Amino acid sequence: MEKAKKNLIYIVFLISLLLPLLFSDFKGGGVSESEKRVLAKFPDIELNSLNSVNEFKDSFDIWFIDNIGFRNSAMRIKASIEYWLFNVSSNKSVVVGKDGWLFYTGSSNLEIAAGTYPISQEKLINIKNNQQKVQDKLHEKGINYLIILVPSKVSVYPENLYGNYSIRPTVIDKLSSFLGENTSIPVINLKNELLDAKVSDLLYYKQDTHWNDLGAYVGYCSVIKTLNQMNLLSTSPAGITFTDSTHDGDLLTMLNVDLPQEESPSININNSKAFRVQNGEQFTEMAELTKQADVKSFYIYKNPNVKKYRVLIYGDSFFNSSPITMLLAENVSELYFVPSYEIMEDMINYTKPDLVILEITERFINNLDKVPSPSDISK
């Protein structure tokens, strides 16, 4: 009887060792949604030298760690324990704030709230020089240029981080002031508009890096106001209503903890006139142009109710994942949105815009000395 118990223990122990291996992903290369990365593939076997043996061993170790059976379940259990017991995130790209707020830590995002975002006077000058060249190239083609700066969540809601954080001037303010004083480029810094509006409404998702639909609407109204002041448009913001909805935030996915989706209202445009183009010659041509630029998506909107003004917008996920482009389409005849910071000459020649807008999120501001590249606008 005693021997049988020992044998049973050995068998259970052996099975516990073998099961994860048996349920491993031997192909690899899958995507980890919580880690936002591609997992390692099983390495090619080329054991014809000592170096290749060592390389295979190193690659095998990485594959094994990434693809061992039950890895996702183990990571989720670990993340849940750390969140519920210690109120911390097991993912270094996410920090847990107060009252259910989550914040992204990448791209020097937390340094924005601390006032230590890495941008020097030399960097500001280089940004100014690059953006001035972009404006000059577009003006040669008779095209207006506008920069829209969207604040990071930590700029608008720093008080929801643990620590001594409060609303303060941040890099978005420094750059917009510098460009305003040293160039003729119109710049919209949306931070103050959002700070004013946050008094009465929640404008950013707690569980996501982005603004919610209401925050996007505040940004949209500010853009329309500025375009009217520039005498580029003479129009009013579209009327809207909201319906109850939920949102599955990117930070919640990265946190990897089973929490309910965030309740957040979804925007509806009253009496909308603009429509999205999703087929036909124009769609096919834009698809080819974006493919050549290695850009995976784009939007085209047309508005038969507006007789003039074509707008080409380049930007990031703050415009790509919110209704702001759909809203702006209510005020212009044609709108093109490309999720990229690189302005492309072929696309300009095809769309023939009256205005090019570059939208960029605060944490990526230090890239503006390189993007867009003026040489890509006029080769």
Angle between helix 121-140 and 171-182 (nearest 10): 50
Residue 217 pLDDT > 90: yes
Query: What is the rounded average pLDDT of the residues 192-220?
Result: 98
Q: How many residues does the chain have?
A: 379
Amino acid letter, 187:
V
**19-78 pLDDT tens trace:** 555 555 656 666 656 566 666 676 766 656 555 656 666 665 566 565 665 567 667 888
Looking at residue 374, its pLDDT comes to 82
| ω into 372 cis (within 30 of 0) | yes
Question: Phi then psi for 14, rounded to 5 degrees?
Answer: -65, -40
Q: How far apart are CA 118 and CA 115, in angstroms?
A: 9
Q: Where are the beta strands (DSSP E) in the chain?
A: 31-32, 37-38, 94-96, 102-104, 144-150, 187-189, 240-243, 246-247, 262-263, 266-269, 275-276, 299-302, 310-314, 334-338, 355-361
Q: Model pTM?
A: 0.86
Query: What is the rounded average pLDDT of the residues 143-168?
Result: 97
Contact between residue 150 and residue 364 where contact means Cβ atoms under 8 Å apart: no
